[in-house]
Amino acid sequence: MRSDLALWTVLAFCGMAAAPALADTWSGAYGGTIESTYTDGRVVKVYVNADHTYSIALQNGSMIKGTWMDGGNQSCFTPTDPPPAPDAKPVCFPLKEYRLGDTFQGEDASGKFTGVIKPGR
């Protein structure tokens, strides 16, 4: 029994050591702007920060603030200000290293959009 436990400990450690280390998911967007264009033509600007916060500048001048977190195979954004509806779901993207110039698809409560990571704020 003890040798089985030791074997599982060694296998678990080897599995963790063999897993590739993922750099910070959104580091390619820090200091930049994610310009998200919705299918109806609306454009919003998203600013992602290293402290796992973000803000969205809407066309009408108002802001949405929130936090983002990586988990499982996703990176999810959850609004905090203004508070979301009780049944609101976070907006999630595949877990990868997003870089300057990347384009990706998403969908939130207001529609589908295409995001592009651009330099500068």
Closest by Cα among 63, 66, 120, 59 to 90: 66
Task: Encode burial over 65-86: b for 16+ CB neighbours within 10 A, e otherwise.
Answer: ebebebeeeebbbebeeeeeee
Number of folded domains in the chain? 1
Residue type, 30: Y
Length in residues, the chain: 121
Residue 19 domain-assigned (yes or no): no
Residue 10 domain-assigned (yes or no): no
Domain extent at residue 86? 24-118
Interval 41-74: pLDDT, tens = 999 999 999 999 999 999 999 999 999 999 989 9
Q: Which two tokens stand for residue 27?
A: 């580091």
Residue 41 domain-assigned (yes or no): yes
Q: What is the CATH number of the domain that holds 98?
A: 2.40.128.640
Instruction: Per-residue pLDDT tens, the chain, 121 aa: give them.
Output: 443 333 333 333 333 333 444 568 999 999 999 999 999 999 999 999 999 999 999 999 999 999 999 998 999 999 999 999 999 999 999 999 999 999 999 999 999 999 999 999 9
